[in-house]
A and B are shown apart, each in its own frame.
Chain A
């Protein structure tokens, strides 16, 4: 009995220490964004504690001429990535769910191979193609590139959702005379809506955070992550802090909402299955 309580105590100590390590950087980010600079960036050894609260950093960052455009760009790209991903991944997942399981898993692995090709290896050649096509700096070009990261995972998640629907429901729809496309979009898609929502939000999140494609394919009309980078290189560290906080807020909310769906099996892409 004694040994058990000691173990429990140890568990909480370890869990808390790791938690503090993990929460610390976020704490610093928000500390810097909400404190006047004289307590943070201007200090050589800044205080760890919050002593004065201000919104001045946000106001100065948000009233900057270069904030609105990147934010809209980021939003547009993220929603387009989500939409594009679903438009391609839903039919693909449906097709895979109709196939022999082994062949389907093989195709899924093939899709994930696309994720293994370094972004720079792809970004540089396609930047040349996009320049030729007049798509450089455009929303659509960036969304097309970023969807590379999201398509395989989204397909895999939606495939799981489709596989969970009893086969007989679809058979019944065929007996009732429903066509294949109609079955997919009016029957199966609503039934798989949880998985599809997760796929959309994860895709949205991936695009919202993405940097490599963004900085190479859209440097002149940047997204929020790129504008943070530009601010840092230009030395506007306070604005960068405010931008960073702004980027992170929807991310934190989404991560908490999606928590139970961000599973190891999803992240490993079913490659172990």
Chain B
């Protein structure tokens, strides 16, 4: 791969609301063409970070650099960043065409030019048929496309999307993810989006930044987040089940995913607390002697209280809650 170009860089970004630190000295580089997800539980400053990037909110200190240019003190429309809000924020007093055309009108573009660009964008997103429709009469999925079309007519340097899938119903959500990836591939642009749901980051992203209490705990591919979480917090947060931990020494922990353990044999034991069916796979939630809760893959439900033997094929070692190394057992 050739040398990647930095699209946006955040330097020492800090933001407080009163005494509460929402963004704590954030440093981040995102490269051209990335589909980057900012993932974290609610109330960790994800949306605030987007708002600071686009310029709706000002950071208390630090800077935002787009394409090598410091935009920290520029108003939102001068930053060459487009944003799609969680509610889509379509202007209810305009039709679909009016919404998409709006940023171009503000930029005083010529009428024919506007029409051409709106039509191109509408075609790309498959909403050419509804250009004359009222905003109140189109579906949630269509609203999202309109919002995206309105964002991309400006040919921005990058796109920010706040919880792009949360207002869609479950069936559309999956295809919407794929379409976002396709759109990124077609345009070759950089996309950053915010979500609280890790399932929305697993397949399509280039990298995921896990945000906790205003700080990035780890920035990595989803696969790496799952396999080698850098802290026990990330290990706990990522995955259908939190990573299981058992004590190794006073300040060291062994962490493993359910599928890294083999149940039925081995020297370690744990008592079954509940059976949990996820999909058609049964999981045993067990308690070890020293009080740790662990999750194992078990082929069938067993009676609560059964003692289960298990051994590990692979595990991570954490010291003071920080990743040290991964161990593969031969």
Contact = CB atoms under 8 A, between A and B. Distances in A.
Give yes or no for direct A-B contact (beta carbon below 8 Å): yes
Interface of A: 166, 168-169, 171-178, 187, 190-191
User: Looking at A175, A178, A190, A191, which has the most chain B CB atoms within 10 Å of its CB?
Assistant: A175
Given A168-B87, A177-B107, 8 more contacts: A168-B86, A171-B51, A171-B89, A172-B83, A174-B76, A175-B77, A177-B75, A190-B93
Contacts of B91: 169, 172-173, 187
Contact of B77 (A168, A176, A187, A190): A176
Nearest to B147: A172
Contact of A177 (B56, B77, B87, B92): B77
21 contacts: A166-B87, A168-B85, A168-B86, A168-B89, A169-B91, A171-B51, A171-B56, A171-B83, A172-B85, A174-B55, A174-B76, A175-B54, A175-B56, A175-B76, A175-B77, A175-B83, A177-B77, A177-B107, A178-B77, A187-B93, A191-B92
Nearest to A170: B89
A196 to B, nearest CB: 13
Rank and list the top 9 A-B pairs by shortest CB-CB distance, nearest first: A177-B77, A168-B89, A172-B89, A168-B85, A176-B103, A177-B106, A175-B76, A174-B76, A171-B56
A174 B75 contact: yes
A190 B93 CA distance: 7
Contacts of B150: 176
B93 A191 contact: yes
User: Looking at A171, A173, A190, which has the most chain B CB atoms within 10 Å of its CB?
Assistant: A171
A175 B81 CA distance: 8
A174 B56 contact: yes
A177 B150 CA distance: 13
Interface of B: 51, 54-56, 75-78, 81-83, 85-87, 89-93, 102-103, 106-107, 150
B161 to A, nearest CB: 12
Contacts of A171: 51, 56, 76, 83, 85, 89
A169 B83 CA distance: 12
B89 A178 contact: no
A166 B89 contact: yes
Contacts of B90: 169
A172 B51 CA distance: 11
A191 B94 CA distance: 11
User: Looking at A169, A173, A177, A191, which has the most chain B CB atoms within 10 Å of its CB?
Assistant: A177
Contacts of A172: 83, 85, 89, 91
A176 B106 contact: yes
Contacts of B78: 177
A172 B82 CA distance: 9
Nearest to A174: B76
A40 to B, nearest CB: 53
A171 B151 CA distance: 13
A174 B103 CA distance: 10
A178 B107 CA distance: 9
Contacts of A177: 75-78, 103, 106-107
A97 B52 CA distance: 21
Contacts of A173: 91
B322 to A, nearest CB: 38
Nearest to A165: B92
A145 to B, nearest CB: 35
Contacts of B103: 175-177
B164 to A, nearest CB: 13
A171 B82 CA distance: 11
Contacts of B54: 175
A185 to B, nearest CB: 12
Nearest to B79: A175
B189 to A, nearest CB: 16
User: Looking at B85, B89, B92, which has the most chain A CB atoms within 10 Å of its CB?
Assistant: B89
A174 B82 CA distance: 11
A179 to B, nearest CB: 9
Contacts of A168: 85-87, 89
B318 to A, nearest CB: 40
A168 B56 CA distance: 10
Contacts of B76: 171, 174-175, 177
Contacts of B75: 174, 177
Contacts of A187: 91, 93
Nearest to B93: A190
A187 B93 CA distance: 8
A181 to B, nearest CB: 13
A175 B82 contact: yes
Contacts of A178: 77, 106
Nearest to A186: B93
A177 B102 CA distance: 10
A67 B77 CA distance: 57
A234 B247 CA distance: 101
A67 to B, nearest CB: 42
A223 to B, nearest CB: 37
B92 A174 contact: no
A35 B75 CA distance: 69
A171 B50 CA distance: 12
A176 B93 CA distance: 16
A98 to B, nearest CB: 13
